[in-house]
Structure 1
């Protein structure tokens, strides 16, 4: 008979816990904790506990995050082969850098300081932005700086850094062994993949790089069609401030645009909103650029990857800063002569759908928009969200008046251009009634509008046929109402109210 002991509660009392990490001798455990109203990237604490023979924790020490005068959000604690505790935090500079805890003196010392991000926001468990190479004193790490990932090896004894050159320009999780490691990555021409990287004896150079797994191994045949993204820096509405985006020009080896015609532009607003869009190969982007559209993916203020100051631009200003930046980016591209100012469109999913709807309700920059399960009612979203995000909205929006004034569903009378809406009927995050209310109001107002509802889909479409249909109908909707051209593909149009 198999006897299983009941689990023992080691720590309790806070709202959230993450990254429980036990040292090699099983004498200490490190963890991250935080409480409402904070999200883990706002303010968190790193603790270490000491095990008694019984397995209980007899002593606890707050390593980072406990000083009320020092705002930081530690993450990713890991014990080295020597039993030293390393972690990532954004104290002081506002950038997530690697630090080490000196147990004897209870001091925190920087391991490598750079105006770059060595981790990403804790939306999911299991993030691994750095790791130890076997039992050595070497750490392999990745970081984000100015829209690009970098890879390196740190010799903890000497403090020297060796940057590694691999085909990936975007990196995420890494798991290491003695002289090699596996890393998840991608680039503008390589789809999301996992690669094995082998190092030389001194662990300073790459001697072999091989793809162990690829999400789309057959895409190499389409490489001539790929549009290469350009990192765009543009001014925001605040004097002297900059924001960033990836601009994809139209690209098709079989066709050329007319010399006196500038392409239409589709602006993409990413979800989250505490997230970052990245310049990796995405066929849903290439679908547009291979058919004559320019495409821009905006990392509006509030996005991650650019430090705490950039991330906190959205506090109390969701629906303002993101909207201003997306509109400002579109205008910047028009003024730069890259796109046609009379054919500007915008699209987004979920929180990005909210920014899309807010841009259409509160600004007049765009000629048409597409919302994929976009948030129309901020008050309802807050009321029905789960524990993890239950105070997230308050941090981003503010008071009750702001909730009302920034909800596009309350101002459908201010929409002035065509809109197409896509909605899952089993969506519990953004109920279908939000899209239906916007659809009915725009139809009554006389604006061209279409609503596509999917049976069996929730918050985010999963069925391939629905993903394909959504992409095609956006293209056709914009082409008919804004682009004024025939689409290349054989797509059956859906009915557009007040147009067909």
Structure 2
């Protein structure tokens, strides 16, 4: 091998590099590194009873511990304490996607335990104590999104599953859980309820609700109830408006996020003056409500509001003063979430950047300085191996001939030691986020760098329907799933090939969940430009999904595809399983055996169909995994198997020193 130049951070050119085929470069960013000491940071919390105490709590999902979620407390002196003993996992199954599984008040912590879904309390006792009643059915009562009420009770969301109940019989309610374990249902009737929030006096309750077939980013309603009289007031929402994150303020007003202008912005409501804008811009403060308990803004005691605002795929923090003036904090972050006020001039949050994994920060607003409370792990990797994403726009269509613009983050190959042969271009992985109403994240992902440091280019596509570009862009996917998303993924790949940035003959596509469906739909085309695909727990049969899924998404396809069974022909036409005759490119399928969102029969069906047609296929079923892999050993095997698959299909060797077990491709 000869030496020359190579791609460094963000694709910059450096000298004295070894020439080797793209995809085969040795790298320290192995699957072992991906999971080593890895955590998924969840919500950050401060004690609302004493926000300036200096104590901060946060959640960590730990692949090395079977994927369980631990709650960590950081004391003012920096001492870190894991709060949950062995056998406890702070995860709720409300909506199956969970979120807001734990909260803090008065020094005590309440959390929903994954195994039994009962609510537990961590206080002065030696260990967790169950405080919710034993349900009739195992895991039949699921709790989330709570807060303390006067007298020590809790107001929270309960999702009730009766014995033998199907999705249509599941009840989502707001309940009061008293200190003696008794339960009083406060709000029932809507298909879904979230965000129960009491004002400071405990006399008014706000909540968000919606009904089938809407999803929380479509049409929701914000209601306030006077608990003394029982009178309800609809504050905002309704057809065409998505409302979220209600939060009472010290002056008795109610802040909330709404997309009534086409962008998720911040508003204030009072009984006397109604609704008024607080922080409105052509940028997104809100995020789609896949999980409960999102927190994209925080209010300080003096009335200042700090909000995360996303534009062109990147977040920034804005500060709105009581006089209405707005300024931006100069901080090295590209994504932010879980904002909490932590004293008179501080907030805590989860933040990350293109060169730093997500970590817990404390930001002092007066000085603009920040302290990292929970540092990202030290990868011990030369920065030359890190590829920095570039926001790109590319021409696309709506699946017909109407021109429009698509969005994506493009990662060029990067290595501190290697470069590709002269005259060759790198293979491209088209990455499709889940949701589909989600977005690409510009935060350092070791899982992405696993590919780019080996010589792959990666494009993470924010196809039409993604969040972050306003409601009209999000609504492009209505009735068009399997059309607009596929059109954007193909357009992004072809455009990068035309720009001379990737090899148009070595394009691969990969995605999980909704992204898995888009992967299959893109391959089920006679004109597909992709040489291979990787389907992670994706949907192959839309009819089967409509008939066999959980309550939260049981009518989701009404908006994405059409009413079922009235429009069954559309479901059949857009289901990859009905077009297996068009599949000619190799496919690898990865699936969890306990996935309740996209059941394993979806993956099995497409694998069996491809086997019957002798289309090259590899299939890995991971026992005990749910929707998305959480166990370190399974994450490693899935990544390495996919790399082995690409090596065999695209024609490059794997680094010998990693000891990667080849995956079998059935032919």
- Scaled to the shorter chain, the TM-score interval is over 0.9
Match of 2:407 in 1: 244
Aligned to 1:147: 313
Q: Give the Cα separation in 2 of the matches to 1:307 and 1:174.
A: 22
Provide closer, same or farther for how the CA distance between residues 8 and 412 of structure 1 changes in structure 2, counting only shifts above 3 A.
same
Verify the 8 A CA contact 1:413 1:441 in the aligned structure 2.
no
**TM-aligned CA deviation for residue 433 of structure 1:** 3.4
Question: Is residue 222 of structure 2 the alignment partner of residue 46 of structure 1?
Answer: yes
Measure, in 2, the Cα distance between the counterparts of 1:8 and 1:359.
49
**How many equivalent pairs are there?**
479
Q: 1:37 aligns with which of 210, 213, 222?
A: 213
Distance 1:39 1:290, change over 3 A: same
1:90–1:96 contact (8 Å) kept in structure 2: yes
Q: Answer 1 or 2: higher relative contact order, Cα 8 Å, separation at least 6.
A: 2
| Separation in structure 2 between the aligned mates of residue 423 and residue 126 of structure 1, nearest angstrom | 28
Measured after TM superposition, the shift of residue 382 of structure 1 is 1.4
Give the TM-score taking structure 2 as reference length.
0.70
**Which residue of 2 is the match for residue 212 of structure 1?**
373
Structure 2 residue corresponding to 1:88, chosen from 257, 261, 266 = 257
User: In 2, Cα distance between the equivalents of 1:38 and 1:445?
Assistant: 39
The answer to whether the 8 Å contact 2:550/2:596 transfers is: no
Alignment check: 8 A CA contact 1:150 1:163 kept: yes
Query: What is the CA-CA distance between 1:124 and the residue it aligns to?
Result: 1.4
Q: Deviations over 1:138-157 (max 9, x none)?
A: 1111111111101021112x
Give the secondary structure class of the aligned counterpart of 2:635: helix
Match of 1:168 among 325, 329, 333: 333
Q: 1:407 to 1:153 in 2, by over 3 A?
A: same
Compare the two structures and name the one with the higher strand fraction: 2
Distance 1:161 1:454, change over 3 A: same
User: Would you say 1:367 and 2:537 are equivalent positions?
Assistant: no
- Displacement of 1:5 in angstroms is 6.6
Is the CA contact (8 Å cut-off) linking 1:152 and 1:162 kept in structure 2? yes
Choose the corresponding residue for 1:485, options 630, 642, 652: 652
Gaps of at least 5 residues in structure 1 are none
Q: State how far apart, in whole Å, the 1-side matches of 2:179 and 2:246 are.
A: 32
CA change 1:29–1:427 in 2 (3 A) is: closer
C-alpha displacement of 1:435: 2.6
Deviation at 1:166, TM superposition (A): 1.3
What SS does the aligned partner of 1:192 have?
strand
Q: Structure 1 residues 192, 13: closer, same or farther in 2, change over 3 A?
A: same
Instruction: Give runs of aligned pairs for residues 258-407 of structure 1, distance below 5 A.
Output: 258-362=421-525, 363-398=527-562, 399-407=567-575
Provide the residue aligned with 2:384 in structure 1. Answer: 224
Instruction: Say which is worse superposed, 220-229 or 251-260, in terms of deviation.
Output: 220-229
**Structure 1 residue 220, shift from structure 2 partner:** 5.4
Residues 416-451 of structure 1, C-alpha deviation per residue, up to 9 Å, x if partnerless?
Answer: 111111122333333333333322332332322211
CA gap of 1:8–1:433, structure 2 versus 1, over 3 A, is closer
Change (3 A) 1:268 1:9: same
Residue aligned with 1:305, SS: coil
1:151-188 Cα offsets, whole Å, 9 max, x none, are 021112x1101210112111111001211110111111
Give me the whole-angstrom Cα distance separating, in 1, the residues matched to 2:428 and 2:554.
36
C-alpha distance in 2 between matches for 1:179 and 1:108: 27
The aligned counterpart of 2:594 is: 426
Question: Which residue of 1 is the match for residue 351 of structure 2?
Answer: 185
Q: Distance between the aligned counterparts of 2:319 and 2:380, measured in 1?
A: 30
- Aligned Cα root-mean-square deviation (Å): 1.7
1:378 Cα deviation after fit: 1.0
Q: After the TM superposition, which of the residue ranges 121-130 and 321-330 deviates more from structure 2?
A: 121-130
Q: What is the Cα deviation at residue 297 of structure 1?
A: 0.7
User: TM-score, normalized by length of structure 1?
Assistant: 0.92
Q: Which runs of 5+ in 2 are unaligned?
A: 1-177
Q: Does 1:74 align with 2:243?
A: yes
Moved over 6 A (4+): none
Distance between the aligned counterparts of 1:309 and 1:316, measured in 2?
A: 14
Cα deviation for residue 3 of structure 1 reads 7.2
What is the Cα deviation at residue 403 of structure 1? 1.0
**1:231, distance to aligned residue in structure 2 (A):** 0.5
Q: Is the 8 A contact 1:409 1:434 kept in 2?
A: no
Matched, 1:128 2:305: no
Do the aligned partners of 2:577 and 2:606 also contact (CA within 8 Å) in 1? yes
Q: Contact between 1:322 and 1:355, CA under 8 Å: does it hold in 2?
A: yes
Say if 1:81 and 1:136, in contact at 8 Å, map to a contact too. Answer: no
Q: What's 1:110 paired with?
A: 277
Note closer, same or farther for the CA distance 1:3–1:10 as it changes in structure 2 (3 Å cut): closer
Q: Which residue does 1:8 correspond to in 2?
A: 184
Question: Could you say if the C-alpha distance between residues 435 and 15 of structure 1 is closer, same or farther in structure 2, counting changes exceeding 3 Å?
Answer: closer
